[in-house]
Amino acid sequence: MKKPKTPEINPEPTNANVEKKSWFNDKLMPAMTKFASQTHLTCIRDAFGILTPIIIGGSISFLLGILIFGAGGNLQTSLLGLLAKAAGAVTVVGDSGHGTSWQISGGWLIANQIGEKIFQTIFDFSMGTFALMIAVMLGYLYAKKRDLKSPMFVAVFNLVTFLITAATFRAEQARFNFFYDSKGMLAAIIQTFLVIEFYRILANNKKMLIKMPKQVPPMVATGFSLLIPVALTLILVSSINTAAWAIGEYGNYDITSSSGAVVLARGEYGFVGLFYKTLSAPFTALISGNEVGLGFGLSYQFLIGFFWFFGLNGSSVVNGAYYPFLLQMFMQNADAVSQYSYAVADAQNMLSVINIQFIESYSQTTGWGHTGALLIAIGIFGKAREQREVAKIAAVPACFSINEPVTFGIPIMLHPVYGVGAMFAMPITLFIAWLVVGPIGIVRKSYIMVPWTLPPGIGALLSTGFDWRAMILSWFCLAVIFVWYIPFVLIANKYQANLNIKSYMDTGMSRDAALAQIAQDEVDYQEQKRLAKEAKIAAKKAKLAEKQEFLKLPKAEQEQILHNKKMLKMEAKALEKLASIKTSKATSKTILVETIPYGGYKIRIDGKTVASALSDEKMREIVGKICQANQQTSYTLKNINGETTIVELDS
């Protein structure tokens, strides 16, 4: 029985296909590009990107405080705690139903307090003031986007307005900075856009500007010219803040913790507090929940892959909308562990599974779409030699989550096979990791931020406070996606083969002739590869033989050969620089050519070495160009014995 012909994956283009391609290029791509460059989203994305090193620095200091000094009640897993335990200076006590804890005293306690103070202070004023940093950085970037004069002034002014609305009206100093961390971050973002827009309207109205006499210095005049817009904006912001305070005061709205305890009573907060009470806290609590948080994370990961498929940086496109919430969930984890220790915070359900560090640790290892797993699959099962060559080049960058060589080299972008596989790879691993960390609960949740460029598993290990199971989970996710990519690679082999056949058939070849030519191309490629390998081996052997012969020579000859090689390199470098030398003004410069041991010359201008030459001919050429550039007609030649001669240049 005759086997039916397998249909080709890449059919001949039709008019409908041409129309679809035109719609894609003319309609879809411009619309997606416009969305990716939306002003507010790009400002948010850039602000968070600029401030990320501060977050990582604060997280790493927090980690060091835990590991070395047992900060945050983590003596059991710290170096200081283990040393104190070995010295018999630890007292094990009950911990209010949460197991046992360690207590130390004397010098051990002093060391613990000093170390915790060092690293906790860094944490408090990096992570703990993030809303203030966002107010400044986002204000600066948005002011630049809106073409406002003195964007730095606008940024500082925006910070002042945020301090007004974030103020709490309570005597205790501990509540003074309640909204300076991630709790006030979303309000800071919204308020920044509204305040700067209102200020821009006033600042661009010439009737609102105070004109100063011309005799007044420009800096003073500029400051006074903006006095009315600044004053009116401050009055408006303070009025809105007072209205928010009145709503809380007379509406009996208390801000409570997750346990129900009153944190800020009615009348003790303003606009940011009301925003946090009515919008920010409920929404964050909603997406921090296991099921909703999972959906939030899945949509984030899918959209990243979706935009990358079309050649747009998916993270850059969607981070403006998602990153603030994912970062806030991470910061809440870090703050809870800092205050109560991991065991207590986890037992009281204060930690969320989904956050930005969780995603980077398990769902974006080796870059978007887990392209490192794709490279391994192509290396083992791929037949397209171009893709295998790209896989070799892109393997090392992929270990550090740099995958542009894969995205545009394989390519994954707009690839009907690999693109679809990559689009769903991240949601798959996010679900697996969520299942293990959340419902099953055998791996710690992420509460320490680390650089996203760490190799697979390392980021997960560090972000969970050295939970080795997190590293295994990260590797397991990568292994699952490797298996996921295998059928896509096999399909892509067929797809690429059809493309190659079609490319030859488009030149007038029959299908059989095209297949024969492809087979011959593969034979030629393998032959070229074999010859290149043999040439490389022969070159290595020749170099080794040359080295062995060199080592047999007397030491004086070895030194002469090494000297000549060094001088030839310096000579070539000098000639390369002189090719673009410019003529300078005529000055009384001293040009000295000094003969050196083993042969060759050092050329100096006013005592400074500027060039070297090995042969007499090259020396004269180099010196001639230097003299011409410096408008000199002679130079001094100094021989090995120290005797000098004035050499006049030929006119």
One-letter identity of residue 73: G
Residues 487-502 pLDDT 10s: 999 999 888 888 888 8
Contacts of residue 30, Cβ cutoff 8 Å, sequence gap at least 6: none
**pLDDT value, residue 505:** 82
Q: Does residue 370 carry a pLDDT above 80?
A: yes
Contact between 345 and 420 under an 8 Å Cβ cutoff? The reply is: no
Residues 6-20 have pLDDT tens digits of 444 444 444 544 454
Q: Which of 124-128, 287-291, 323-327 has the lowest mean pLDDT?
A: 287-291
Residue 239 reports pLDDT greater than 50: yes
pLDDT tens for residues 502-511?
888 888 888 8
pLDDT value at residue 222: 66
pLDDT at 503: 80
- CB distance 175 to 183 below 8 Å: no
SS3 634: strand
Asked if 333 and 355 count as a contact pair (C-beta separation under 8 A), the reply is yes
- C-alpha 609 chain-centroid distance: 42
CA dihedral 59, 323, 336, 174 (to 10 degrees): 90
Determine contact, residues 632/587, Cβ cutoff 8 Å. no
pLDDT at 3: 43
pLDDT exceeds cutoff 60 at 592:
yes
| Radius of gyration of the CA atoms of the chain, in A | 34
Tens digit of pLDDT for each residue in 256-284? Answer: 776 667 778 888 888 998 998 888 888 88
- The DSSP symbol for 181 reads S
- Whether 603 contacts 626, CB under 8 Å: yes
Do 371 and 403 touch, CB atoms closer than 8 A? yes
pLDDT in tens, 602-637: 999 888 888 999 888 888 889 888 888 888 888 999
pLDDT of residue 349: 85
For strand 601-605 and strand 591-595, is the pairing parallel, antiparallel, or unpaired?
antiparallel
Sign of CA dihedral 492, 494, 497, 499: negative
- Round to whole Å and give the CA distance between 520 and 527: 10
Coil/strand/helix, residue 594: strand
Spatial distance between the Cα atoms of 152 and 138, rounded to a whole number of angstroms: 11
CA distance 619 to 356: 62
pLDDT tens, residue by residue, 551-582: 888 988 888 989 999 999 998 988 888 888 77
Q: What is the pLDDT of residues 135-166, one digit of tens each?
A: 999 999 999 999 998 899 999 999 999 999 99
pLDDT, residue 52, reads 85
Contact call for residues 139 and 68 (beta carbons, < 8 A): no
Q: Is 163 exposed, middle or buried (0-12, 13-18, 19+ CB in 10 A)?
A: middle
SS (H, E, C) 455-480: CCCHHHHHHCCCCHHHHHHHHHHHHH
Please give the DSSP secondary-structure letter assigned to residue 587: -
Residues 6+ apart with CB under 8 A from 192: 134, 135, 138, 139, 142, 158, 162
Report whether 635 contacts 593 (CB < 8 A).
yes
Residue 631 CA to residue 63 CA, distance in Å, equals 64
Question: What pLDDT sits at residue 200?
Answer: 93
Contact, 260 vs 154, CB < 8 A?
no
Tens digit of pLDDT for each residue in 474-489? 999 999 999 999 999 9
* Model pLDDT for residues 523-559, shown as the tens digit of each residue: 887 888 888 888 889 889 888 888 888 888 898 888 8
Residue 284 and residue 311 in contact, taking contact as beta carbons nearer than 8 Å: no
Average of pLDDT values for 58-78?
A: 80
User: Three-state DSSP class for 160?
Assistant: helix
Cα–Cα dist 491/493, whole Å: 5
Close Cβ partners of 143 (under 8 Å, ≥ 6 residues apart):
151, 154, 155, 158, 196
Integer Cα distance of 177 and 181 in angstroms: 8
Q: What confidence score (pLDDT) does residue 170 get?
A: 65
Of 349, 490, 485, the C-alpha closest to 429 is 485
Range of lowest pLDDT (21-25, 118-122, 217-221): 21-25
Q: What is the pTM of this model?
A: 0.71
The β-bridge partners of 91 are 103
Q: How confident is the model at residue 97 (pLDDT cuts 50, 70, 90)?
A: very low
Q: Is residue 49 scored above 70 in pLDDT?
A: yes
54 close to 123: Cβ distance less than 8 angstroms:
no
Helices of type H across 87-226: 107-124, 130-145, 151-166, 185-203, 218-225
Confidence (pLDDT) at 651: 53
- pLDDT tens string 328-354: 889 888 888 888 878 888 888 888 899
Residue 373: pLDDT band (50, 70, 90) is very high
